[in-house]
Amino acid sequence: MIEYLILFSSAFLAATILPFYSEVILFALLREGGDPALLVAVATLGNTLGAVVNWFLGRYLLHFQDRRWFYFSHKQIARAQEWFQRYGFWTLLLAWMPIGGDALTLIAGIMRVRLWLFVLLVGIGKGLRYLSVVYLQGLSAW
């Protein structure tokens, strides 16, 4: 049971702005004979919830848009949000990427992507990443 908590925690931290790699722990637990489906589910849940933290941070940044030092105008933000809601939300399927993925989840909060859509797309992408680790671990066993 503690292994799953460690995996969940590492996946959660890996999705935030902290540098962390949960795939290593997933791989080790798979090598020890852990249930692949349960491990993928736990890792995906942890990583997706960690990304939700980034989404909330992005939403929080908008509280500063009336400050003099805030770089973008209300009009620029509104235009970007409209575009991102129409076309850019599909990029959230790439939130699993080691470089840029965390930034996408923060931007999604700033762009006011609906939380249910965010969780769905980010969860799919991150789940597929963890499934690929299971697949690669199976190949390495040969």
- At residue 20, the pLDDT reads 79
User: How do residues 34-59 score in pLDDT, each as one tens digit?
Assistant: 899 999 999 999 999 999 999 998 88
Name the more confident of 78 and 120: 120
Domains of the chain, residue spans: 2-140
User: How do residues 88-114 score in pLDDT, each as one tens digit?
Assistant: 888 899 888 877 788 888 889 988 899
Q: pTM for the whole thing?
A: 0.84
- At residue 142, the pLDDT reads 42
Residues 6+ apart with CB under 8 A from 47: 11, 12, 14, 15, 22, 96, 126, 130
